[in-house]
Structures are given as structure tokens and as C-alpha cells.
Amino acid sequence: MVPPIIDDTYSECFTMWYSRILITAIDEEMALIAAQETIGFATSIIMCSAEAGIERFVSAKETPDNRPGVVIQIWTRHSKQMKDELLSRLSQCAMTTPTTNIFNFTPIAEKSVPVGKLIAYFGDGFQKKITKFGRELWEVPVMDGSFLIEDSFNIAKGIAGGLLILLGTEQMTTLQAAKTAVKAICDSKVQAITSFPSGICRSGSKIGSKYSFLNESTNHRFCPSLKKDVSDSLLPPEVQCAYEIVINAVNEDELKKALKAGIGALRENNAIVKITSSNFGGELGKITINLKDLTDDNK
């Protein structure tokens, strides 16, 4: 078995604003449905207004209301954008899902947004501000009982754009390897998300384009069908598929843990030829994380 080569390169990262939110429900199924709806259409700020994903499941023993829950993260480029994202996503997706309650899950904050108070106006005067579970909550009457939402949600700066690119010999095994890496990141319980579908992106982008109206375009250097057509291909001859895993985390240490978990899960996977990343000379971000520093050889 030949382990994948860990490329001597770095991931180019940048800061964004995030909020961690806990959604609980009567059972894990409903909590997951609420979370999935709330993080919809939020893969990348290239064309989405936010980036969002599921961080982890939380047992009933760990939640304020002793019910199963899901922790999600929502990310925006600027702090002023977070209010609208939280307001629309929590009110139209999380609140509408049967049996849910919503809690702030960002303990350390640089700013706070009174989203719960705004959503509580839906109660049309019947809403009540209460103290419960040691938190300031709004109780809103709804058709299956009462909906609880925390008064305010904290936001803070995190690190976005951590990137692993998996180079494999064929599509099916490379995809399975990518799924394995994403699962390892989730199972590690780091405070991080992988915002693309299944945590995996097939359409990795580069900065710039031949078209003046595009800021980003396909990263041709990692497209197998273009290996013979471009002079700057970064794919070895045997590589027929490449997938990206893009990670956002609450701080650099958590991002490194997530990247390391993804790399570690594939160290004995012979379907992957190389694990690399992509960078643009500082145009994307000023924070750099070298992949070699994340291997077991550099503990």
C-alpha cells in the first residue's frame, strides 16, 4: 500500500464572521431537518449571501432543554450581514420546523445581535420574555405549543478557507475517500464546518477569469480533462479526479485540527495519490497553514 503524498504547500485562509447556533427538537430527526433547512443555499460567498454547515450532533444531556440537538454555523464576510442571515434563516427555517427551540452557542463574542427579540414579534403581542435554563429567552405561541428562542446571538471572527484537495486515480474511489475525510472531520468534534454538499466540492475555483465579468472561474490546473491542453496542470498522469474539502473554523487552532483529521483519515488510502491545496499569492487571504505541519510526522 502506497500512502498519499502530502504536498509541501499551504492553505491560504482569511477571516470571516460566524455564529454558532444550537437547534433542539423532540428527536434527532427533527433537529437534523431543521438544521439542514436553516443552512440551505450557503455553500460559498462567491454567489451565496452566507456560508453555513452542520458542526455536530449534541446529545440531550448536553443541551439546555434536555433534548437532542444539532449545532450549526453561519458565516458572513461582514458582521453587519449576520443580522439578516440569522433573522431570515432562523425564522423561516428553524422556527417553522415542528418542536424546535433555538439557543445561542457562541460563548465568546465580539458582537451580539438581538435576533431572538426580533423573531419574537411573530407572537403578535402574545410573546413573553422569560428566564429559563439560565438564559434570557423569548416564548412565542405556535400551533404545536411554545417556541423558545434566545434573546441574542453572539458573533465572532473565525478563519475560513482551509482547503484540502484530494487527487485520486478514479472518480468513485476518490469520492469515497473524500467522504471518509469529511466524516473524520465531523467525528473529531472540532468547531468547524465543511459547507459544500456532503462537505465536498467538485468545482474548485481560482481567482480571476478570461472573462472580465467573472471574479472566479474553474481551477483548470486541477481538471483532469485539461491535463493535455494546459501548460500549468498540477495533476500527475495517473490522476483522473480531484475533490476539494473547504473548511471554516472558529479559530486557527480548530482549523488545523480539522485539516489534520481529514489528512489523517487518508494516510493509508491508496486511492489517493496526493493531498494538496491551492493558494494565490496572498490574493485570497493572508493566513497560511502548511499541510506538512499537520502530518503525524510533525506532531
Q: What is the pLDDT of residues 224-262, one digit of tens each?
A: 999 999 999 999 999 999 999 999 999 999 999 999 999
Predicted TM-score (pTM) of the model is: 0.96
Residue 226 sits in the same domain as residue 150: no
Task: Determine the structural domain holding residue 196 and report its residue range.
Answer: 5-12+158-298
Residue 148 sits in the same domain as residue 219: no
Residue 93 sits in the same domain as residue 166: no
pLDDT at 282 over 90: no
Residue 240 sits in the same domain as residue 283: yes
Residue 121 sits in the same domain as residue 208: no
Cβ contact 150:23 at 8 Å? no
Cβ contact 258:186 at 8 Å? no
* Spatial separation of the C-alpha atoms in residues 79 and 86, rounded to whole Å: 11
Residue 281 pLDDT grade (very low, low, confident, very high; cuts 50, 70, 90): confident
Distance of CA 235 to the CA centre of its chain: 27
Q: CATH number of the domain that 189 lies in?
A: 3.30.70.520
**pLDDT of the residue at 226:** 98
Residue 164 sits in the same domain as residue 150: no
Residue 65 sits in the same domain as residue 139: yes
Mean pLDDT of 71-77: 99
pLDDT tens per residue, range 185-229? 999 999 999 999 999 999 999 999 999 999 999 999 999 999 999
Where among 156, 181, 216 does a domain terminate?
156
* Spatial separation of the C-alpha atoms in residues 238 and 254, rounded to whole Å: 33
* Spatial separation of the C-alpha atoms in residues 24 and 94, rounded to whole Å: 9
Cβ contact 161:12 at 8 Å? yes
Residue 174 sits in the same domain as residue 216: yes
Where among 102, 122, 156 does a domain terminate?
156
pLDDT tens per residue, range 76-114? 999 999 999 999 999 999 999 999 999 999 998 899 999
Residue 118 sits in the same domain as residue 150: yes
Where among 135, 156, 177 does a domain terminate?
156
Residue 192 sits in the same domain as residue 148: no
pLDDT at 299 over 70: no
Which of 69, 67, 85 lies closest to 19 in space, CA to CA?
Answer: 85
Cβ contact 41:48 at 8 Å? yes
Cβ-based neighbours of 233, under 8 Å, separated by 6 or more:
220, 221, 226, 227
Residue 162 sits in the same domain as residue 287: yes
**Total tally of structural domains belonging to the chain:** 2
Cβ contact 2:271 at 8 Å? no
pLDDT tens per residue, range 155-184? 999 999 999 999 999 999 999 999 999 999
* Spatial separation of the C-alpha atoms in residues 51 and 76, rounded to whole Å: 7
* Spatial separation of the C-alpha atoms in residues 178 and 182, rounded to whole Å: 6
Residue 36 sits in the same domain as residue 143: yes
DSSP-assigned letters across all residues of the chain: --PPEE-S-EEEEEEEEEEEEEEE-SSHHHHHHHHHHHT-S-S-TTTSS-EEEEEEEE-GGGSTTSS-EEEEEEEESSGGGHHHHHHHHIIIIITTSTT-EEEE---S-SEEE-HHHHHHGGGTT--EEEEETTEEEEEEEETTEEEEEES-EEEEEEEEEEEEEEEESSHHHHHHHHHHHHHHHHHTT-SEE--SGGG-BSS-EEE--SSTT-SEEE-GGG-GGGTTT-TT----TT--EEEEEEEEESSHHHHHHHHHHHHHTTTT-TTEEEEE----TTSS-SEEEEGGGGSGGG-
